[in-house]
Amino acid sequence: MKRLLTLFLLSCFSSGYGQYYFNDLVSIQMGNEQYRLLRSQRIRQISATSYEADNTLTDGFQLEEDISLDGKKIQLRTAIASGHRSVTDRFYEQGRIRRTQTYSNGISSKTVYTYTPNGLIQTIAITTTDTAMKTTVLEAHEWNYDNKGQPVSMWLIKNKTDSTLIELKKDEKGLIIEENWKKNNRIRETYYYYYDAANHLTDIVRYNARLKKLIPDFQYEYDSNGKVTQMIQISMGSASYFIWKYQYNENGLKSQESGYDKEKKLAGKIVYTYQKQ
C-alpha cells in the first residue's frame, strides 16, 4: 500500500515531470473544468478514505479539501504514515486557476498562471524553495500559439538563463501528436501522443533506451461521457506498471479510485465523499 500512496501523491503533484503539453495545457484545462463542476454542485468540502486490499483502513492517510464560500480558494491537505505531509492552496479567478502555493516537508513551491485574452495558458512561473538547503529554483514556461489558437511551442527557462525550446507537431485534425525538447539545436527528448476515434488522448509514449523501443509512460481509457475510467502508469526504468481504475457518482464527481499491480491484484482504494454548502 505504501507504493500505492506514493504513486497517488505523484499523480496529484506531477506537473513538472515531462510531457509539458499534457501537464501545462491538457491537465490545467481538465483541472479548470473540474473546478467549475465542483462550483456548479456547490461543493464546499472533499474528503478521502484509503483502504488496504483487505478493506481495512490505511493508517495515517489524510486527504481533505476545503473550498471557500466565494470559490476563490481551495486548500488541499494530504498526509501518509511515512511522514509525508503537504498543504496546497489554490486560488481561482473567473473560473480558472491563477496561483498555487504548496508546502511539503521543508519545500515550498509557488506557481503563477497567466492567460491570453482568449483564455489560453500564456505563462507559468514556478518558484521552488528548499528551506533546509536554502536554495531557490526558478522555472518559467512561455507558450506560443498560431492564429487558430493551437499551441506550437513553449520556452522552458530555468533560473532565467537555461533555456529549452519545446516544439509541438499536430496532425490534420489539429491534435498534438509530438513534443520535441530542443537545446543547442539538438533534440534531447521526444514524446508522442495517440488518440482514440473520439479524439481522447489514449497514450503518452517515449523511447526507452534500455528496451530500445517506444514505451508508453501513461495509457488512458474513457467512458461514453469522456471521463477517464482507467490510467496505466508504466515505469521507465523497468517493465513494471500500475493500474488506476476510476468510478464517478451521478453528478460526474470521482467517487473512487482503485490501484492494481501488474498482476491485476488490488493494492488498495481511495473513496471520496463530498459535502455541499
pLDDT (tens digit per residue) in 45-54: 999 999 999 9
Mean pLDDT of 93-110: 95
Q: pLDDT digits over 68-82, tens only?
A: 999 999 999 999 877
What is the structure's pLDDT at 5?
52
pLDDT digits (tens, 9 = 90+) for 218-233: 999 999 999 999 999 9
Does 126 have pLDDT greater than 60?
Answer: yes
Percent of the chain with pLDDT over 90: 80
Q: Is 186 exposed, middle or buried (0-12, 13-18, 19+ CB in 10 A)?
A: exposed
Q: What is the pLDDT of residue 4?
A: 54
In 18-120, DSSP assigns E strands to 43-52, 62-67, 73-79, 85-93, 96-104, 107-115
The CATH architecture one would assign to domain 2-276 is Beta Barrel (2.40)
